Amino acid sequence: MKNIFWIIEITSCKLCSEEEIFVKFSFPKIELHLHLDGSLVLEDTWEMALQQGLVKKEDGFESFRRRMQVPQTCRNLADYLKCFQLADAVLQTPEALERASRSLLLQLSREGIIYAEVRFAPQLHCEKGMTQEQAVQAVLRGVKRAERETQIKAGVLLCAMVTTGKPDVDQQNERTFRLAAEYRKEGVAGVDLAGAETARPMEDFRTLFQLASALSLPFTIHAGEAGGPENVRTAVNFGARRIGHGCSAIRSPAVMDLLKREKVTLEMCPTSNLQTCAVPSLQEHPIRQFAELGIPVTVNTDDSTCSSTTLDQEYEKVMSLGFTQRDLIKMNCNAARAAFLPEKEKAVLLERLQAWL
């Protein structure tokens, strides 16, 4: 097997500037589950927050960092989602969204990621007059700039929201999906449902995902993170062939059998799953059991800034559960197969990865 170590130690959890990034695993990497507003490059975001008057310079960068990252006292998903407030406040202009998406992909490229699917909810960026369409266009501009400047390739997933606290959330969700269909040829890869999973029954979104199917939109659904295994079952019954998290499926042999039978890929995020209390401890994370049953699993960061992690650090966590470096490459092969890409582009990713096996 090829040597897959560049630098043995990762010396910091923080998202760093270019010269501070250390890459441990040098095989090509794919990330499927990554939220833009939870994964902002801190230095860039600090500058934008200062320019917008959202923070004071005298309060200092470390105070800003603490507001952007999940505290150790995080008790559940609702607590976890609070750390998005400042990030979303910064991302209320097209310029900020374009800069943020470009900076994130440049950083991912430096970390050895060759393909990423970056997701965001356009309706969360309309507080100061920007439209959903303008938000989508801005993120796509940033992505295309990063693709021109590096070797990374990326798709954008548009997220519908379980709830936003506004009465028109269902209408906005429909608008999001229709925009996704309009921009499929411009870089939108698919759609998702995100947010406070237990705030509404999963069944409320059946019509929305019927629309996704009618529009031929690939989709993934957050399920089984804060909610129970029945949410995972419902999401699969909607037609999802990827599930964000899915941890609670471990509590239902029937749902696990369903995942295996339908070849549903799980987008697993160990650090985030610990922080949201989706799992009680790393040792009790179900990723090993899912993999042993034959359910395709992938490893992701979810929100690299909020969770203060990198994809390499997530790999180290799953290796502590008994996975090998070869297993990690196979998980990236799972990600390539499940990516919302044309078959020819998937084949290119798979060929690059399989050369390391």
Ordered mean pLDDT values, 10 residues apiece, the chain (357 residues) = 34 39 85 98 96 95 92 79 90 98 98 98 98 99 98 98 96 99 98 96 98 99 97 99 98 98 98 94 97 98 96 97 97 99 98 96
Instruction: Select from 354, 277, 355, 290 the least CA-distant residue to 321.
Output: 290
Measured distance CA(234)–CA(243) in Å, rounded: 11
Whether 102 contacts 143, CB under 8 Å: yes
Q: Can you give the pLDDT at residue 20?
A: 52
Measured distance CA(348)–CA(56) in Å, rounded: 47
Contacts of 283 (CB under 8 A, 6+ apart): 321
Q: What angle do CA 29, 158, 239 make, to 5 degrees?
A: 85
The reply to whether the predicted model has a pTM over 0.85 is yes
Reply yes or no on whether 58 is catalytic: no
Measured distance CA(9)–CA(233) in Å, rounded: 40
Token pair for 69: 């990252």
H/E stretch holding 143: helix 132-149
Catalytic residue among 225, 230, 267, 314: 225
Q: What's phi and psi for 111, nearest 5 deg?
A: -85, 0
Full set of structural domains in the chain with CATH? 24-341 (3.20.20.140)
The β-bridge relationship of strands 265-268 and 297-299 is parallel
Q: What's phi and psi for 232, nearest 5 deg?
A: -65, -45
DSSP characters over 290-346? HHHHT--EEE--BSTTTTT--HHHHHHHHHTTT--HHHHHHHHHHHHHHSSS-HHHH
- 180 to 138, 211, 218, 236: CA distances (angstroms): 14, 11, 10, 21
Residue 248, Cβ density class (10 Å: 0-12 exposed, 13-18 middle, ≥19 buried): buried
For residue 2, give the 3-state DSSP assignment. coil
DSSP characters over 27-80? S-EEEEEEEGGGS--HHHHHHHHHHTTSS-GGG-HHHHHHHHS--TT--SHHHH
Q: Can you give the pLDDT at residue 22?
A: 62
Q: What angle do CA 37, 173, 83 make, to 5 degrees?
A: 25
Token pair for 319: 């290796």
Per the document, the length of the chain is: 357
